[in-house]
Structure 1
Amino acid sequence: MATANDDSDNNNKASDRIKDSAQQIWLAGLGAFAKMQQEGSKAFEALVKDGAGMQKKTQQAAEETLAQAQTRMAGFASEFGTKAAGQWGKLENIFEERVARALEKLGVPSAADVAAMQARIDALEAQLKHRGGSAAGHSETATPAKTARATARKTAARKTAPAVAAKKTVRRNKGGSAG
C-alpha cells in the first residue's frame, strides 16, 4: 500500500519536472532573443529580400492580368466597331434610297439619267460634226452650242409669253397703257 510519503514524493517529482520544463522554456526564449539580437539585421535583410521578391511576382501577375484585359477590351472594341460600321452602312443605304425616291418624285433626273443624256448629246455632237464636215460649202455652220442656245431662247420665250400677256391685261384693266 502506498503511504502518504509516497504520494508526497510523487507530487514533489512532478513539481520538479514542471519547474525544470518551465526553466528550459525560459532559457530557450532568452536564447532566441539573444540570437535575434545578434542576427537581427541579417534576418531583417532576409525578410526585406523575400518581400521584394514577392512584390515583383505580384507585380508581374498584375501586369499579365492587365495585358489580358487590354487584349480582350481591344477585341471587344474591334468587334463593336465592325458591327457599328455595318449598321452605319445599312443606315446610309436606307437614306440614299429614300433621297433617290424623293428626287424621283420631284422629277429630278438620276445620275444614270444624266449620264444617258450626256451620252446622247455626245452622239448627236458627233453626228453634227460629221454632217458639218460633209457640208463644207456653207459659210456658217450651226454648232451644238449655238443650237442649244437658240432652243433655250425659244423655250424661254414660250414660257414667258403668257406671263407678259397677263401683265398687259392687268395694266389695261387698271387703266394703264398696254405697252
Structure 2
Amino acid sequence: MVKKLQKMSADKKAAPPLASAVKESAQQIWLAGLGAFSKAQEEGGKVFETLVKEGLTIQRKTQAAAEEKITEATSKMANMATDIQSKAGHQWDKLENIFEERVAKALNKLGVPSAKDVDALAARIDELNKSMQKMNGKAPAARKAAKPAAKKAARPAAAKRPAARKSA
C-alpha cells in the first residue's frame, strides 16, 4: 500500500506539466474556433454566394443529364411501341386473312359466288357486249336510244288490251 501511495504522489508531481499542456492545447483550440467563427462571419456572405453558384452549376448539369436520359428513354419506348404495333398489325392481318378464307369457303359451300367470280363474269359480259356491237354494227349510244322507243311502243299496245276486254 505504501508503494501505491508513493506512485500516486509521484504522478501528481508529473501531472502539473501534463495538465498545463492539456490546458494550453484546449485554449488554442478554443481560440482557433473563435477565429474560424470570426472569419466565417466576415466571409460568410461570399462563401454562401459561391456555394449557391456551384449548386446552380451542378443542378444545370444534373438536369441536362436527366433530360438526355429521358430523351433516350423516350426514343427507346417509341421504337418499342412501333415494333409492337408492327407485330400486332401483322398478327391482325394474319387473323383477317384466316377469317376471309373461312368465310369464302363457307360461302362457296353454300353456292355463293366469290368477288373474283363476279368480276370475271362482269368482264366476260363486257367482252360479249363488245363483240355483239361489232356484229350488229351499232354503237352503244344507238342501242340506248332504241330502248326508250321500244318502251313507248309497248305502252300503246297495253292500252289497247284493256279496251278489248271491255268489249268482250
Q: Same fold (TM over 0.5)?
A: yes
Q: Counterpart amino acid of 1:44? A: F
Aligned with residue 93 of structure 1, among 90, 97, 103:
97
Secondary structure class of the residue paired with 1:109:
coil
User: Alpha carbons of 1:79 and 1:3: their partners in 2 closer, same or farther (altered >3 Å)?
Assistant: closer
Gaps of 5+ in 1: 135-141, 147-179
Name the CA distance, whole Å, in 2 between partners of 1:5 and 1:118: 133
Provide closer, same or farther for how the CA distance between residues 100 and 10 of structure 1 changes in structure 2, counting only shifts above 3 A.
Answer: same
Question: Is it true that 1:48 corresponds to 2:52 in the alignment?
Answer: yes
Aligned mate of 2:34, from 30, 34, 51: 30
For the residue of structure 2 that corresponds to 1:80, the secondary structure is: helix
Runs of 4+ in 1 over 6 A off after TM superposition: 2-6
| Alignment partner, residue 149 of structure 1 | none
Question: Per-residue deviation at 1:102?
Answer: 2.3
Shift of 1:41: 0.7
Structure 1 residue 63 displacement after superposition? 1.3
Question: Relative contact order, CA 8 A, sep 6+: which one is greater?
Answer: 1
Q: Structure 2: give runs of 5+ residues left out of the alignment.
A: 1-5, 148-168
TM-score of the superposition, structure 1-length normalised? Answer: 0.66
Residue in structure 2 matched with residue 172 of structure 1 by the alignment: none
Aligned CA RMSD, in angstroms, stands at 2.9
* C-alpha displacement of 1:72: 1.4
2:126 is equivalent to residue 122 of structure 1? yes
Could you say which structure has the higher helix fraction? Answer: 2
Separation in structure 2 between the aligned mates of residue 8 and residue 36 of structure 1, nearest angstrom: 41
TM-score (ref. length: structure 2) = 0.70
Change (3 A) 1:130 1:55: closer
Shift of 1:7: 5.0
Q: 1:108 to 1:20 in 2, by over 3 A?
A: same
